[in-house]
Amino acid sequence: MSKATVIAVANQKGGVGKSTSVFCLGAGLAREGKKVLLVDVDPQGDLTKMLGQRAPHELPITLSNLLNDIVSDLDDPGSQTNAAIQHHAEGFDFIPANRSLSAVEVNLVNVMARETVLRRLLDTVKAGYDYVLLDCRPSLGMLVINALSAADQVLIPVQADYLAAEGMTELIGTVQSIKRQINPKLKVGGVFLTMANETNFRRDIVQSVKETYGKHLPVLNTVIPTTVRLAEVSTADKSIFKHDPRGKAAEAYAKLTKEVMAGERQRKRSSEIAR
């Protein structure tokens, strides 16, 4: 069985469409016949709520329990892990999160090898999947460091305005630091623009991002538009592919899905050649 590709979707700025993108990309990959696991790594639990769990604080087992099991070095964390993994009607699995994850993040400071707790958890489950997508909280704290330490690549959604684009520098610095010190395989899989309007301003932003980062980072061709129907995904309990299948946003996320898959095929070919 081929090894799963772990993708962290991260940006320390909130409100850029991370959770929506994880949901829609996960659904898109499942539509392509891939086995997909989404992991909510944000104590706010926005992804968990989008996936139909409106009261995540009432869930008996979430990511918090699984990470605590890893920290406690239990001999068999598998039974609780199986109980935590839920299945979504659109063909993928997910591990929910709630506010108890904040306490886990605080406690990780005193844990041995604290940056790799999430990686150790994913190592117990990822063999059954083609893709694992990590929805990161909007910060550069210990949970995000754990996600980047566990990932093969990071996708960075950036809101289509100049200030948001300029704010990526700190995240890129964190990625480079983790690559040097903890996870040498980590790569930036791509930067993609979200919440874009159909204007000349949008084209200026796309050009600006490519000029600013394109020499050092892959800037994906897909641009996610801002639409009312996409905004409704957060409360619709279904991805854009089910909520508005013929809309511009569904078309954009289908393109993003194919672009991510093509990038992964290229990455695997390059690594095979390197061997």
Give pLDDT, residue 196: 87
CB within 8 Å of 58: residues ≥ 6 apart: none
- Cut 0.85: pTM above it: yes
Q: Which residues pair with 194 in a beta bridge?
A: 159
Exposure on the CB side of residue 83, measured as CA atoms within 13 A: 11
Residue 1 binned pLDDT confidence (cut-offs 50, 70, 90): very low
CB within 8 Å of 145: residues ≥ 6 apart: 115, 174, 178, 182
- Say which CATH number the domain at 69 has: 3.40.50.300
Separation CA 11–CA 180 (nearest Å): 19
State the pairing for strand pair 131-136/5-9. parallel
What's the mean pLDDT in 51-70? 95
Q: In the chain, which residue ranges form alpha helices assigned H by DSSP?
A: 18-31, 46-50, 63-71, 78-84, 100-108, 117-122, 142-150, 162-166, 169-181, 200-213, 228-231, 233-236, 240-243, 248-274
Overall domain count for the chain = 1
Give pLDDT, residue 115: 96
Give pLDDT, residue 92: 98
Higher per-residue confidence, 151 vs 159? 151
Tens digit of each residue's pLDDT (9 = 90 or more) over 152-175: 999 999 887 766 666 688 889 999
Sheet holding 93-95, edge to edge: 86-87, 93-95, 36-41, 131-136, 5-9, 153-159, 187-196, 219-225
Residue-number span of the structural domain to which 241 is assigned: 5-274
Contact indicator for 72, 126 with CB cutoff of 8 Å: no
Tens digit of each residue's pLDDT (9 = 90 or more) over 188-229: 999 999 988 876 666 787 777 778 777 788 989 899 999 999
